[in-house]
Amino acid sequence: MKGSNYRYTLYEEQKSDHTPRMQDPNKLLKSINILVVDDMEAIRSMIKACLRQMGATRVIATYNGDAAWHILEKHRVDMIVCDWDMPKVTGIELLQKVRSKDTTRHIPFLMLTASIDKKRVLKAVELGVNDYLSKPFQPKELEYRVLKLLRKVNLNPIIPEKSDTQRADNQEQSTDSGAADK
């Protein structure tokens, strides 16, 4: 049986006092893969445009939780921005699945919803959502939440990533089903 291969991203240290220094979130955005999941094309496009304006260059977008899970199985994803209410597999169902798997539970998850029901927010928090944003929202609000998540995650000194071998294996197995748009 083969063991798992992992690479780790370590935090940078300041030369003077060896305290952790956070990498510039805008630079970090250029190197991470962000998965956007929303059943409405206009919302997906707006989120993608906002993320790209912030400096993100690796944005994958798809229309529901089922399609998102297929992407998560085949590609490294560093952050998920996901709508709650979608057909087939909802955002909350995707969150549950993401948090249940060792290979995905570390991924920061930002939930979007038009609902203002506090019970829903509480349920998402109980299931492990990292942050929550109510629709409609302004691009600056999305930017604030994404950067906040990056800061929070980046302060963790060790973040597991799939090895290059695992990524290559996953890319060889992947097929383009048309489920996602880039």
Sort strands 180-181 and 58-62 into parallel, antiparallel or unpaired. Answer: antiparallel
Sort strands 158-162 and 6-10 into parallel, antiparallel or unpaired. Answer: antiparallel
Tell me, what's the pLDDT at 26?
A: 67
Q: Which residues contact 120 (CB under 8 A, 6 or more apart)?
A: 84, 113
Read off the tokens for 155: 């302060």
65-74 vs 164-173: helix axis angle to the nearest 10? 130
Tell me, what's the pLDDT at 114?
A: 87
Q: Is the pLDDT of residue 172 over 80?
A: no
Higher pLDDT, 10 or 65: 65
Question: Domains in the chain, start-ordered, CATH in brackets?
Answer: 24-155 (3.40.50.2300)
- Mean pLDDT for the chain overall: 78
Neighbours of 172 (CB within 10 A): 8
Q: In angstroms, what CA-CA distances link 177 with 88, 101, 111, 162?
A: 17, 23, 25, 23
Higher pLDDT, 153 or 181: 153
Tell me, what's the pLDDT at 13?
A: 32
Residue type, 61: A
Q: Is the pLDDT of residue 88 over 60?
A: yes
Read off the tokens for 72: 């998560």
What is the tens place of the pLDDT at every residue in 11-58? 333 333 444 455 666 677 888 999 999 999 999 999 999 999 999 999
Residue 104, CB-side half-sphere exposure with 13 Å CA sphere: 24
Q: Is the link from the previous residue into 108 a cis peptide, with omega within 30 of 0?
A: no
pTM comes to 0.73
What is the tens place of the pLDDT at every residue in 125-148? 999 999 999 999 999 999 999 999
